[in-house]
Structure 1
């Protein structure tokens, strides 16, 4: 599959690896893919971020991801479901952090890394790349670009899609920014 990646898509994966290393994470997650996409300059994905105003709200987006990481990767829907059962996630996070330190529920730190030192993609990150392939094939594109990875991140349920949607980058909005109304038109240059 990687032979079908454009230079931008390869840069996203390489950037995600670098992000994972800087965070001292043992794996490469969807969040790392998103942050690498945000770092990418030029290209369709960057154009979509600018068109939707996400580039201007990067700090707020990163803050949303940090909050989700602190609550153990739970989405707002997960938190709401637990609240319906009488479980206060904020209270649990506060108690855990009081005992174990801030970010204790974030997990995935270096001390758990495999002895080999290699970072692998999480199931979610792998599924995102597979979804990017499916989106590209569905659009009859011959290559997988960074824009397909962005669409895949918005299409898969979870914290990253939720954070993007909270900042105006839903699947439909991104598709419209990339390909015009209805998603079937010619791609816009970035």
Structure 2
């Protein structure tokens, strides 16, 4: 199936593995695919996300929050007590290693293949179906994003949390115009 992917779509799949590794996650999820698509400069899918109000920092923060890391509200609450969460995290990681404050699950060793989650595999399958439905010969980042919207997994949940109108985004991707 990957032979039908455009270069940017293949790059997004590769970048998703990098994001999963950076975040210390055991598997590549559809949310990592979403991060990779959002960072693929110049792609129609990245442009559609930007037009929908998605910014890379906000998306990454939402995905980290969804995976159990402390969010801005937690950091703000601790700061009212005089605790700088970033300073605490930095000191703990300096002493105990990167990711010491993560969910308690063992961290993956750096490098090597990271498997896809069931949802990510479903998104990749749906991206093929979306390309076929739209009568496109190849699978681009826009088809992967349509797959994310259709699968309604973690990536879709992250978009909802950011206030993205999924129907409008789908329309933009399918018709190449603002909804």
How high is the TM-score relative to the length of structure 1? 0.67
**What is the CA-CA distance between 1:132 and the residue it aligns to?**
0.7
Given the alignment, which residue of 119, 122, 126 partners 2:121?
126
Q: Confirm or deny that 1:141 pairs with 2:151.
A: no
| Cα shift readout 1:48-97 (whole Å, capped 9, x = no counterpart) | 01211213xx33322222221118xxxxxxxxxxxxxxxxxxxxxxxxxx
Moved more, 61-70 or 7-16: 61-70
Runs of 5+ consecutive residues of structure 1 not aligned to the other structure: 72-100, 181-186
Aligned pairs for 1:25-44 (under 5 A) are 25-44=25-44
**What is the CA-CA distance between 1:102 and the residue it aligns to?**
4.2
Mapped partners of 2:126, 2:118: distance in 1 = 12
Given the alignment, which residue of 66, 71, 86 partners 2:64?
66
**What is the CA-CA distance between 1:136 and the residue it aligns to?**
1.0
Mapped partners of 2:166, 2:132: distance in 1 = 17
Count of aligned residue pairs for this structure pair:
147
Mapped partners of 2:153, 2:6: distance in 1 = 26
Note if contact 2:31-2:158 (Cα within 8 Å) is conserved in structure 1. no
Note if contact 2:149-2:170 (Cα within 8 Å) is conserved in structure 1. no
- CA RMSD in angstroms comes to 2.4
Which position in structure 2 is the counterpart of 1:22? 22
Mapped partners of 1:51, 1:124: distance in 2 = 25
Note if contact 1:52-1:177 (Cα within 8 Å) is conserved in structure 2. no
Note if contact 1:133-1:148 (Cα within 8 Å) is conserved in structure 2. yes
Note if contact 2:119-2:153 (Cα within 8 Å) is conserved in structure 1. no
Note if contact 1:128-1:153 (Cα within 8 Å) is conserved in structure 2. yes
Runs of 5+ consecutive residues of structure 2 not aligned to the other structure: 70-99
Which position in structure 1 is the counterpart of 2:95? none
**What is the CA-CA distance between 1:10 and the residue it aligns to?**
0.6
Given the alignment, which residue of 144, 150, 157 partners 2:152?
157
Note if contact 2:45-2:142 (Cα within 8 Å) is conserved in structure 1. yes
Distance 1:158 1:108, change over 3 A: farther
Mapped partners of 1:10, 1:108: distance in 2 = 28
How high is the TM-score relative to the length of structure 2? 0.71
Note if contact 1:45-1:146 (Cα within 8 Å) is conserved in structure 2. yes
